[in-house]
């Protein structure tokens, strides 16, 4: 039965429709896999009961041959920073440890409307501030690759959507939603050997996604295949009156032809030289070159391009991030919801104690620096300047997309580091290295996708990133599928 879990969403849906399997069987396989891989700590909450109910409803629809969509009855997981109605949503923080939202995020609502079965809420760095899924109230999420059961150490899953990535990689679900602010979906996708899409800013509603950096956040999609990614994108993208920054133009479903029909002839693909930075590991560089050659051999035109402001992204991001964090975290005062410290001496004391106990040190650090940058006397010097740099980074993309249609870069500079090595660095050091290749896309709002290519000598996934201009998802996904078909990445779900 476990074989079900290695299928694509399309084919499971077909089997369900033909009556070869039932939604209950699919769900059971998924729940069993969650149980079996519990030690990886991918889930904060497993929503077994609601999943069983939802799956029964799907079953009725399949029996009537009227599924709601290709996702009907398909187990899906959602990162624990998307609000889910009557299901606790923690953000991996003590502050929201017992928070039960009274509403669904648009992403969750659309998944439910499409008949998908929510199997659980996945682990993340507290409030998505991190790139390893090591800073969660619920502990780190372990990467499923190269896991030695007798060792205390493990490879990090990447982050901050590490739980979602591990859930998909192990086959606990067919796809998951993460969020991507500086790479939080693509980074764990790269480390866990998955497809990770950061769509164009505003293509998928942020309503109900607990904000990290509003102007950079997008819901991200984690799946094992590009086709599965398209399936999830098609049911969740499109205008939402609850999010003013959502693109108001109606969304047109994307259909990608079978891989055999895809061609890259005459496609102009840029290789930005600034992404070959000094910390780039040889194996990653090699993979990058291999895929570039592969594309060239297939008829694409490859061109070296320059994006001079790339390296400024890290410092620019860190200012914008901390400013918006300082602002967004102001609502956690212990009054309306969430954790409240036991303190009666004054309202101010209650705020102070609640916040000092409810947040971890990473969050508190960002709040303090963010508020410093926003002081009237510092505003121009830091925040306004960061906005200008952000514009320069976006201009780099505008310029380069005059010459080429797509960009090919690494997603991360290395394979998944060992936890023991990773935690020796501070959170800000971790993020600045991890997000180097992924952040610029957030700055510009453009779509980007990470695709797994092959395994390193140590048996860890090596991935690359594609980026395109705003709303170029159809081309981006088609190119990703073309590469996916050529490289035939060995997914770990088949070996579990």
Partner 1 sequence: MVSMFDRKHYFYGDMPVGYQITQQRNPLAKDGILDLFVFTPGIHKSPYVKKVKIKQLQLEQDSGKSLHGSDSSLVDLNRAGMGLMEVVFEPDLTDGEEAAALVKELAGILKKIGTCTCKMEEGGLRVDANVSIHQEGEPLGTRTEIKNIGSFRGVASAVKYEIERQIKLKEKGYQIINETRAWDANTKSTVAMRDKEEKQDYRYMPEPNLPPLHLSNDEVNQGSVNVEKLRKSIPELPAQIRERLQKELGLTLSQAVILVNDSVLLQFFEDSMKMKQLNPKLLANILIYEFSHIIYKTKVNPEHFLNRSNVVADLVYLLDTRKINRGIFCYLLEELFIGNPKQPIEILQEENLFQITDEEELMKICKEVLNENENLVTLYRGGKKNVYKALMKILVNKSNERADMAKCDEIMKKLLNGE
Kindly state whether residue 345 participates in binding partner 1, applying the rule CB under 8 A. no
Q: How far apart are CA 199 and CA 185, in angstroms?
A: 10
- Comparison of 51 and 444: residue with beta carbon closer to partner 1: 444
Smallest distance from the beta carbon of 130 to partner 1, in angstroms? 21
Kindly state whether residue 341 participates in binding partner 1, applying the rule CB under 8 A. no
- Comparison of 17 and 341: residue with beta carbon closer to partner 1: 341
- Comparison of 62 and 339: residue with beta carbon closer to partner 1: 339
Tokens of 451: 């695709």
- Comparison of 339 and 351: residue with beta carbon closer to partner 1: 351
Kindly state whether residue 349 participates in binding partner 1, applying the rule CB under 8 A. no
The span of 126-134, 239-247, 254-262, 483-491 binding partner 1 (CB under 8 A) equals 239-247
Site residues for partner 1, 246-265, by CB under 8 A, read: 248
What are the φ/ψ torsions at residue 453 (nearest 5 degrees)? Answer: -110, -55
Task: Provide the b/e sequence for 413-435 (b: ≥16 CB within 10 Å).
Answer: bbbbbebeebbeeebeebbbbbb
Q: Which candidate, 95, 165, 179, places its Cα nearest to that of 137?
A: 95
Tokens of 128: 């998505």
Considering only residues 263, 306, 347, 420, which one is a binding residue for partner 1 as defined by CB under 8 A? 347
Kindly state whether residue 282 participates in binding partner 1, applying the rule CB under 8 A. no
The span of 92-100, 208-216, 307-315, 424-432 binding partner 1 (CB under 8 A) equals 208-216
- Strand ranges across the sheet with 117-122: 43-46, 117-122, 75-79, 175-180, 218-223, 195-198, 448-455, 461-468, 406-410, 268-272, 301-305
Measured from the Cβ of residue 179, the count of other Cβ atoms closer than 10 Å reads 27
- Comparison of 219 and 452: residue with beta carbon closer to partner 1: 219
Kindly state whether residue 388 participates in binding partner 1, applying the rule CB under 8 A. no
> For the residues of 436-483, what is the DSSP string, one character each?
TTTHHHHHHT--EEEEEEEE-TTS-EEEEEEEESTT-HHHHHHHHHHH
- What does each C-alpha distance from 129 to 321, 336, 351, 442, 471 come to in angstroms? 9, 23, 22, 15, 27
Site residues for partner 1, 318-337, by CB under 8 A, read: 323-324, 326-327, 329-331, 333, 335-336
Considering only residues 376, 402, 457, 488, which one is a binding residue for partner 1 as defined by CB under 8 A? 376
Q: How far apart are CA 326 and CA 439, in angstroms?
A: 20
Smallest distance from the beta carbon of 137 to partner 1, in angstroms? 21
Smallest distance from the beta carbon of 370 to partner 1, in angstroms? 9
Q: Which candidate, 98, 464, 163, 64, places its Cα nearest to that of 284?
A: 464
Q: How far apart are CA 408 and CA 263, in angstroms?
A: 16
- Comparison of 329 and 431: residue with beta carbon closer to partner 1: 329
The span of 61-69, 279-287, 376-384, 390-398 binding partner 1 (CB under 8 A) equals 376-384
Site residues for partner 1, 111-170, by CB under 8 A, read: none
Kindly state whether residue 470 participates in binding partner 1, applying the rule CB under 8 A. no
Using an 8 Å Cβ cutoff, are 304 and 321 in contact? no
Q: How far apart are CA 375 and CA 370, in angstroms?
A: 9
- Comparison of 86 and 379: residue with beta carbon closer to partner 1: 379
Smallest distance from the beta carbon of 214 to partner 1, in angstroms? 4
Considering only residues 374, 418, 423, 471, which one is a binding residue for partner 1 as defined by CB under 8 A? 374
Considering only residues 148, 282, 342, 348, which one is a binding residue for partner 1 as defined by CB under 8 A? 348
Q: Is the peptide bond before 98 cis (omega within 30 degrees of 0)?
A: no
Helix, strand, or coil (residue 424): coil
Asked whether the CA dihedral 101, 102, 106, 108 is positive or negative, the reply is positive
Tokens of 247: 């693109």
List the catalytic residues: 79, 160, 184
What string marks each residue from 284 to 323 as x (binds partner 1 by CB under 8 A) or -? ---------------------------------------x
Q: How many CA atoms lie within 13 Å of 219's alpha carbon, on the beta-carbon side?
A: 35
Considering only residues 45, 50, 215, 301, which one is a binding residue for partner 1 as defined by CB under 8 A? 215
Measured from the Cβ of residue 64, the count of other Cβ atoms closer than 10 Å reads 8
The span of 133-141, 346-354, 452-460, 466-474 binding partner 1 (CB under 8 A) equals 346-354
- Comparison of 171 and 182: residue with beta carbon closer to partner 1: 182
Site for partner 1, rule CB under 8 A: 213-215, 243-245, 248, 323-324, 326-327, 329-331, 333, 335-336, 347-348, 351, 371, 374-376, 379, 383
């Amino acid at each position: 039965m476990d074989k079900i879990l290695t299928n694509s969403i399309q084919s499971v849906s077909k089997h369900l429709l033909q009556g070869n399997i039932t939604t209950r069987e699919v769900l059971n396989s998924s729940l069993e896999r969650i149980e079996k891989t519990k030690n990886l700590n991918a889930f904060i909450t497993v929503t077994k009961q609601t999943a069983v109910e939802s799956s029964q409803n799907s079953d009725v629809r399949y029996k009537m041959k009227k599924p709601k969509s290709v996702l009907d009855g398909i187990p899906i997981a959602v990162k624990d920073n998307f609000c889910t109605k009557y299901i606790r949503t923690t953000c991996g923080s003590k502050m929201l440890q017992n928070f039960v939202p009274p509403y669904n995020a648009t992403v969750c609502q659309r998944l439910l409307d499409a008949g998908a079965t929510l199997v659980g809420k996945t682990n993340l760095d507290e409030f998505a501030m991190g790139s390893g899924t090591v800073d969660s109230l619920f502990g780190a999420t372990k990467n499923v690759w190269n896991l030695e059961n007798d060792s205390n150490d493990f490879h990090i899953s990447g982050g901050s959507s590490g739980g979602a990535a591990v859930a998909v990689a192990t086959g606990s679900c067919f796809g998951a939603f993460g969020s991507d602010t500086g790479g939080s979906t693509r980074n764990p996708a790269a480390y866990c050997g998955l497809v990770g899409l950061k769509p164009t800013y505003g293509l998928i509603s942020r309503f109900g996604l607990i904000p990290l950096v509003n102007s950079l956040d997008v819901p991200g999609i984690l799946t094992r295949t590009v086709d599965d990614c398209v399936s999830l994108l098609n049911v969740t993208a499109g205008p939402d009156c609850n999010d003013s920054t959502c693109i108001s133009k109606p969304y047109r479903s994307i259909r990608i032809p079978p891989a055999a029909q895809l061609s890259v002839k005459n496609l102009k693909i840029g290789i930005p030289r600034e992404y070959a930075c000094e910390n780039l590991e040889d194996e990653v560089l090699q993979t990058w070159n291999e895929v570039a050659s592969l594309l060239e051999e297939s008829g694409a035109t490859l061109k070296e391009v320059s994006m001079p402001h790339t390296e400024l992204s890290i410092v620019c991001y860190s200012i914008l991030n901390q400013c918006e964090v300082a602002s967004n975290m102001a609502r956690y005062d212990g009054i309306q919801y969430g954790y409240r410290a036991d303190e009666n001496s004054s309202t101010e004391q209650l705020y102070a104690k609640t916040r000092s106990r409810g947040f971890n040190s990473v969050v508190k650090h960002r709040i303090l620096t963010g508020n410093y940058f926003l002081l009237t006397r510092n505003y121009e010097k830091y925040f306004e300047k960061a906005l200008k740099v952000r514009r320069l980074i976006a201009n780099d993309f505008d310029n380069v997309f005059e010459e080429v249609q797509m960009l090919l870069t690494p997603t991360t500079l290395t394979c998944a580091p060992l936890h023991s090595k990773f935690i020796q660095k501070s959170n800000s050091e971790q993020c600045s290295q991890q997000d180097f290749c992924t952040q610029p896309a957030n700055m510009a709002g453009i779509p980007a996708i990470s695709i797994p290519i092959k395994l390193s000598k140590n048996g860890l996934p090596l991935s690359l990133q594609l980026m395109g201009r705003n709303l170029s998802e159809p081309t981006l996904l088609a190119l990703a599928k073309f590469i996916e078909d050529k490289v035939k990445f060995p997914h770990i779900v088949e070996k579990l």
